[in-house]
Protein backbone atom coordinates (compact mmCIF):
# COMPACT_ATOMS: atom_id res chain seq x y z
CA UNK A 1 0.00 0.00 0.00
CA UNK A 2 1.52 3.29 -1.10
CA UNK A 3 2.61 5.59 1.75
CA UNK A 4 2.60 2.78 4.33
CA UNK A 5 5.47 2.84 6.82
CA UNK A 6 7.90 -0.03 6.17
CA UNK A 7 10.83 0.66 8.50
CA UNK A 8 12.82 3.50 10.07
CA UNK A 9 16.36 4.52 10.92
CA UNK A 10 17.12 7.10 13.62
CA UNK A 11 13.38 7.78 13.80
CA UNK A 12 13.10 8.64 10.09
CA UNK A 13 10.52 6.52 8.32
CA UNK A 14 10.82 4.59 5.08
CA UNK A 15 7.58 4.49 3.09
CA UNK A 16 6.16 2.15 0.47
CA UNK A 17 6.15 3.49 -3.10
CA UNK A 18 4.11 0.58 -4.46
CA UNK A 19 4.99 -1.60 -7.43
CA UNK A 20 5.74 1.23 -9.87
CA UNK A 21 9.21 2.42 -8.80
CA UNK A 22 9.10 5.36 -11.24
CA UNK A 23 5.84 6.74 -9.82
CA UNK A 24 5.90 9.71 -7.46
CA UNK A 25 3.10 10.96 -5.26
CA UNK A 26 3.68 14.70 -5.14
CA UNK A 27 6.38 16.96 -3.82
CA UNK A 28 7.41 16.71 -0.18
CA UNK A 29 8.77 19.62 1.91
CA UNK A 30 9.91 20.14 5.48
CA UNK A 31 7.91 22.44 7.71
CA UNK A 32 10.33 25.29 6.87
CA UNK A 33 10.16 24.71 3.10
CA UNK A 34 13.29 22.60 2.46
CA UNK A 35 12.54 20.36 -0.53
CA UNK A 36 12.87 16.66 0.28
CA UNK A 37 11.89 15.41 -3.18
CA UNK A 38 9.12 13.40 -4.79
CA UNK A 39 7.17 11.16 -2.40
CA UNK A 40 8.21 8.13 -1.92
CA UNK A 41 11.27 7.99 -4.13
CA UNK A 42 14.69 6.95 -2.81
CA UNK A 43 16.05 10.52 -3.02
CA UNK A 44 13.18 11.84 -0.87
CA UNK A 45 14.14 9.48 1.98
CA UNK A 46 17.82 10.45 1.74
CA UNK A 47 17.21 14.18 1.90
CA UNK A 48 14.59 13.80 4.63
CA UNK A 49 16.98 11.63 6.67
CA UNK A 50 19.91 14.05 6.42
CA UNK A 51 17.72 17.07 7.16
CA UNK A 52 15.54 15.65 9.94
CA UNK A 53 18.03 13.29 11.66
CA UNK A 54 21.30 15.19 11.14
CA UNK A 55 20.23 18.79 10.49
CA UNK A 56 22.05 18.72 7.13
CA UNK A 57 20.75 20.83 4.23
CA UNK A 58 22.08 19.92 0.82
CA UNK A 59 22.78 23.10 -1.18
CA UNK A 60 21.54 21.52 -4.42
CA UNK A 61 18.11 20.03 -3.77
CA UNK A 62 17.59 18.76 -7.32
CA UNK A 63 18.78 15.72 -9.25
CA UNK A 64 18.25 12.03 -9.69
CA UNK A 65 19.88 9.54 -7.32
CA UNK A 66 22.89 9.03 -9.61
CA UNK A 67 23.55 12.81 -9.53
CA UNK A 68 24.47 12.68 -5.84
CA UNK A 69 27.87 11.23 -6.73
CA UNK A 70 30.09 13.39 -8.94
CA UNK A 71 32.58 11.22 -10.88
CA UNK A 72 34.77 14.30 -11.46
CA UNK A 73 35.46 14.68 -7.73
CA UNK A 74 38.48 12.83 -6.38
CA UNK A 75 38.50 10.35 -3.50
CA UNK A 76 38.04 12.30 -0.23
CA UNK A 77 37.08 15.37 -2.28
CA UNK A 78 34.45 17.87 -1.26
CA UNK A 79 31.12 17.54 -3.10
CA UNK A 80 29.82 21.11 -2.83
CA UNK A 81 26.44 20.30 -4.39
CA UNK A 82 25.69 18.02 -1.43
CA UNK A 83 28.00 19.69 1.14
CA UNK A 84 29.56 16.29 1.85
CA UNK A 85 32.89 14.50 1.52
CA UNK A 86 32.91 11.94 -1.29
CA UNK A 87 34.66 8.56 -1.16
CA UNK A 88 35.24 6.21 -4.09
CA UNK A 89 34.23 2.56 -3.87
CA UNK A 90 37.61 0.78 -3.82
CA UNK A 91 39.38 3.60 -1.97
CA UNK A 92 41.12 3.54 1.41
CA UNK A 93 38.09 4.67 3.48
CA UNK A 94 35.42 2.16 4.54
CA UNK A 95 31.77 3.19 4.62
CA UNK A 96 30.36 4.14 8.02
CA UNK A 97 26.87 4.34 9.54
CA UNK A 98 24.87 7.30 8.17
CA UNK A 99 26.96 7.44 4.96
CA UNK A 100 25.08 7.88 1.70
CA UNK A 101 25.70 5.07 -0.84
CA UNK A 102 25.21 6.13 -4.46
CA UNK A 103 24.56 3.69 -7.28
CA UNK A 104 24.99 5.02 -10.82
CA UNK A 105 24.38 1.72 -12.65
CA UNK A 106 20.80 2.40 -13.80
CA UNK A 107 19.07 5.22 -15.65
CA UNK A 108 18.16 7.23 -12.54
CA UNK A 109 20.54 5.53 -10.12
CA UNK A 110 19.70 4.68 -6.53
CA UNK A 111 20.68 5.97 -3.08
CA UNK A 112 20.66 4.27 0.32
CA UNK A 113 21.84 5.02 3.87
CA UNK A 114 24.43 2.80 5.60
CA UNK A 115 23.01 1.39 8.83
CA UNK A 116 25.87 -0.86 9.91
CA UNK A 117 29.30 -2.05 8.76
CA UNK A 118 31.27 -5.08 9.88
CA UNK A 119 34.33 -6.91 8.56
CA UNK A 120 32.65 -8.29 5.45
CA UNK A 121 29.23 -6.71 5.04
CA UNK A 122 27.35 -3.43 4.87
CA UNK A 123 23.67 -3.12 5.75
CA UNK A 124 21.65 -0.27 4.23
CA UNK A 125 18.17 1.16 4.57
CA UNK A 126 16.47 2.47 1.46
CA UNK A 127 13.18 3.60 0.03
CA UNK A 128 11.52 2.60 -3.26
CA UNK A 129 12.91 -0.94 -3.50
CA UNK A 130 9.70 -2.97 -3.58
CA UNK A 131 9.27 -4.36 -0.07
CA UNK A 132 13.02 -4.42 0.72
CA UNK A 133 13.84 -1.43 2.91
CA UNK A 134 16.92 -3.24 4.30
CA UNK A 135 19.58 -4.90 2.19
CA UNK A 136 23.02 -6.38 2.87
CA UNK A 137 26.02 -5.92 0.59
CA UNK A 138 29.39 -7.66 0.56
CA UNK A 139 32.33 -5.56 1.76
CA UNK A 140 35.80 -6.65 0.69
CA UNK A 141 39.09 -5.29 1.99
CA UNK A 142 42.20 -5.92 -0.08
CA UNK A 143 45.54 -4.09 0.10
CA UNK A 144 44.02 -1.33 2.21
CA UNK A 145 41.13 -0.71 -0.19
CA UNK A 146 37.44 -1.14 0.68
CA UNK A 147 34.99 -2.27 -2.00
CA UNK A 148 31.29 -2.97 -1.86
CA UNK A 149 30.94 -5.70 -4.46
CA UNK A 150 27.60 -7.47 -4.43
CA UNK A 151 24.78 -7.80 -5.12
CA UNK A 152 25.71 -4.56 -6.89
CA UNK A 153 28.50 -2.01 -6.57
CA UNK A 154 27.99 1.66 -5.74
CA UNK A 155 30.14 4.37 -7.29
CA UNK A 156 30.96 5.36 -3.72
CA UNK A 157 29.62 7.04 -0.59
CA UNK A 158 29.26 10.52 0.80
CA UNK A 159 29.64 11.66 4.40
CA UNK A 160 28.64 14.79 6.27
CA UNK A 161 31.70 16.51 7.71
CA UNK A 162 31.77 19.66 9.78
CA UNK A 163 35.38 20.38 8.82
CA UNK A 164 35.15 20.04 5.02
CA UNK A 165 38.91 19.53 4.96
CA UNK A 166 39.12 16.03 3.55
CA UNK A 167 39.99 17.27 0.09
CA UNK A 168 40.00 20.16 -2.32
CA UNK A 169 36.81 21.72 -3.58
CA UNK A 170 36.54 20.55 -7.15
CA UNK A 171 32.92 21.42 -7.95
CA UNK A 172 32.43 23.96 -10.71
CA UNK A 173 29.09 25.73 -10.17
CA UNK A 174 28.94 26.64 -13.87
CA UNK A 175 29.36 23.06 -15.05
CA UNK A 176 26.15 21.67 -16.46
CA UNK A 177 23.90 24.47 -15.22
Looking at the annotation, which residues are catalytic? 42
DSSP E strand boundaries for 19-165:
27-29, 35-38, 77-79, 84-88, 100-103, 110-118, 121-125, 134-142, 145-150, 156-159
Distances (CA, A) of 152 to 48, 61, 70, 140: 24, 26, 19, 13
Q: What angle do CA 10, 11, 17 make, to 5 degrees?
A: 105
From 38, 31, 51, 138, select the one nearest 100 (Cα to Cα). Answer: 51
20-50: per-residue pLDDT in tens? 888 889 999 999 999 999 999 999 999 999 9
The confidence score (pLDDT) of residue 21 equals: 82
Pick the residue with more confidence: 130 or 170?
130
Domains of the chain: 5-159 (3.90.1720.10)
Pick the residue with more confidence: 177 or 6?
6
Cα–Cα dist 153/162, whole Å:
27
62-110: per-residue pLDDT in tens? 999 999 999 999 999 999 999 999 999 999 999 999 999 999 999 999 9
Distances (CA, A) of 3 to 24, 64, 98: 11, 20, 23
The confidence score (pLDDT) of residue 115 equals: 98
The confidence score (pLDDT) of residue 177 equals: 24
Cis peptide before 151 (omega within 30 of 0): yes
Q: What is the pTM of this model?
A: 0.88
Amino acid sequence: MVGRSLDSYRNIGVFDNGLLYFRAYGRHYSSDGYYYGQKWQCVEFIKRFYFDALGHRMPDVMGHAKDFFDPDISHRGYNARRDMIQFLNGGDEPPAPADLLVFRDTGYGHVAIVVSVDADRVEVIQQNIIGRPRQTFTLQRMNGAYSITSPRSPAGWLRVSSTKTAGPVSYDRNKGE
